[in-house]
Structure 1
C-alpha cells in the first residue's frame, strides 16, 4: 500500500514580536515618532496636540481599523508613505534589534515555503530581516505597501487582503500556517481556513502604546492551533499543524 505524502506547508511569518523582540527598543522608538507625527497633524499648525489627544487617536484608530495609519489616512488625509517613512526612521537597527540565536537554522529546518507577511514598511522590515540574516529563507517579502485592495491599504487583519494574497500566489488556505503574535490577525486567518501558530514570548502589553499590561494567564483561544513561547519551538509542534 502506498502512503500518500502530505503536501509541504506554506509558512506566513509575521516579523515584529514574532521573529524578534520589537517591544524591547523598536516599538518604543516607533511610538515616540508616531506621537510626534500625530501631535503635529492634530495640532493647530503652531501648537502640537496634547498627549491625551494623541493617545486617544492612536488607540482609537488602532482598535477601529486594525492600524493607526488607516485612521490617519481616513480622517486626516495623511500620506501613507510619508507616515511610514517618518515613524520608522530609527537610525541604526543594529543598536535596537534583539533576537534569539538559531532563527536561520529554524527556517531551514521547517518544511515548505516561507513568506514574510508584515504590517511594517518595506525599508524597515527589509533592514530587520537582513540584520537577522534571514532574507534568503523567504520566497516573498510582503510588507504593508503591498497590502492594497482596489487601491486602498488593507493590512492585517484584513480578510479581503488575505484572500487576494492567497489567490495571487496560488495558495490553498489549509496548507498555510500563519505565525503571529497578534491574536486578531490569527483569528481572521483561521476564519479563512488557515492554520495558526501564536508566539507569545515578546508580548508585554495589551495595547499599542505600552500602557495596559497583559493578563497574567492568557489561554490558547480556539482559533489558535498551536501556542508557543518561541518560534524555535515550532518544529516540535508540527504534528498539530498538519
Structure 2
C-alpha cells in the first residue's frame, strides 16, 4: 500500500500556493494574538507559527491548544484561495506513473479536505486513490493527530489491514518520513520542491540534501518511482 503526501510531493505548492497560505495564516494569527484592537506584531506571529510547528508538527495544534482556536475555522480561513486552478503547478505524466505502481494508494495530507480535494480534482488524480485522508480525518481518541503522529499512522494501517513493512510513504517532509520509518514503513523522500517545504513562510530546507538513514529511497520527482521500485521491495 502506498501513502502519498500532496503538497510539494504531487505538485509544486511552493510556487504560489504556500505563499498565499502563509499570508492568510499570518493574518489569522495576528488577529488571534492581538488584543482585540491592535493585531500582534510580525515578530510575535512568526515566533508563534514556528514555535508551534516545531513543537507539535502543525501550527494549527498550537493555536488550538494555547488559543482555543477552532480547527474548522482556522483551516477555512488559511486555505481560502481564489483561482486555485491558476495557482497549481505540476508535472505531466503523474496519472500514468500512479497507474504503473502496484498496490492501493491513499492520499495522506495535513491539508484540509476541501482544499486537497480541489487540488486533486484539478490535477485529475483523484480516481487513482482508494481513500483520501485529510487533516480533519486524523482524529485519535477525539484529538487531532496529524503527521508526524505515529499513533495516527498506526491506526491508519490497522484500519486498512496492512502491516507497516508492506506500506510505503512518499513525502517531502523529513519529520514525517522519520516517524513512519520508526514504525517500519518504507520511505521515499521527494526533493524537487524543497525550496520551501512547508507553509511556515520561511524556507525550512535541510542543511544538506543528503539521504538520511531513515529514508529508503530519495527521488527528485515522484515520476522516478517506477524505476526505483526494486529498492523498495
Sort the TM-score into its range (normalised by shorter chain): over 0.9
Cα RMSD after superposing both structures:
1.2
Gaps of 5+ in 1: 1-9
Q: Provide TM-score, normalisation by structure 2.
A: 0.97
Q: Which of 5, 11, 28 is the matching residue for 2:2?
A: 11
Gaps of 5+ in 2: none
Report the alpha carbon displacement of residue 22 of structure 1 after superposing the two structures with TM.
0.3
Q: Look up the match of 1:101.
A: 92
Report the alpha carbon displacement of residue 208 of structure 1 after superposing the two structures with TM.
4.3
Q: Look up the match of 2:168.
A: 177
Q: Look up the match of 1:238.
A: 229
1:27 aligned onto 2:3: no
**Who wins on radius of gyration, i.e. which is larger?**
1
Q: Is the 8 A contact 1:199 1:227 kept in 2?
A: yes
Counterpart Cα distance in 1 of 2:16 and 2:232? 32
Q: Which of 130, 152, 160 is the matching residue for 1:161?
A: 152
Counterpart Cα distance in 1 of 2:163 and 2:11? 28
Q: Look up the match of 2:82.
A: 91
Q: Which of 71, 75, 78 is the matching residue for 2:66?
A: 75
Number of residue pairs matched by the alignment: 233
Q: Which SS does the other structure have where 1:197 is aligned?
A: strand
Q: Look up the match of 2:28.
A: 37
Instruction: Give the 5 Å matches for 1:33-72.
Output: 33-72=24-63
Q: Is the 8 A contact 1:59 1:207 kept in 2?
A: no
